[in-house]
Amino acid sequence: MSRRKAREAALQVLFQIEMAGVEEEKAYEYIFSEFNIGENAQKFCRELVQGTLRNRAYIDDIIREVSNEWDLYRMANVDRNIIRMALYEMLFREDVPKNVAINEAIELGKDFSTADSGKFINGILGYVAKNMEQFKRTEPGV
């Protein structure tokens, strides 16, 4: 299974945790069994979810700053979690090129959200990519 499928699974896990209050492990169990996700994709999915959750406060501050203090919870839940996950990849994962994280996020937005999501997601991630030194730091607790 590809990293794209792992990202799709991670998005669904994040959505379940935030919107339905599902425990993280139960969300993994459901998604992995429902979609028959392989071992490597499960590992990458867990890394994305755990890294995104661990750094959510910092990532949310960046989203607020870049979106001109727009209320995070007025954003579509799917868009918010796609942006969070992509920012985690861009800021903390050396193995994922920025342009790959951005392109994957745009595609997730097109597949799981609205027609305009791709532009919105690209705007926020593109700004961060152009100003990486302003935002990049080592991951807390690692």
Give the start-to-end residue ranges of the domains of the chain.
3-135
The residues, ordered by sequence, that sit 6+ positions from 81 with a Cβ below 8 Å of its Cβ are 11, 14, 15, 18, 52
Using a cut of 0.85, tell me whether the model's pTM lies above it: yes
- pLDDT of 11 > 90? The answer is yes
Give residue-wise pLDDT tens across range 32-78. Answer: 999 888 999 999 999 999 999 999 999 999 999 999 867 888 899 99
Find the mean pLDDT for residues 106-115. Answer: 93
Task: Tell me the CA distances in angstroms from 139 to 2, 5, 64, 103, one per residue in order.
Answer: 25, 25, 19, 23
CATH number of 3-135: 1.10.940.10
| Position 139 confidence tier, pLDDT thresholds 50, 70, 90 | low
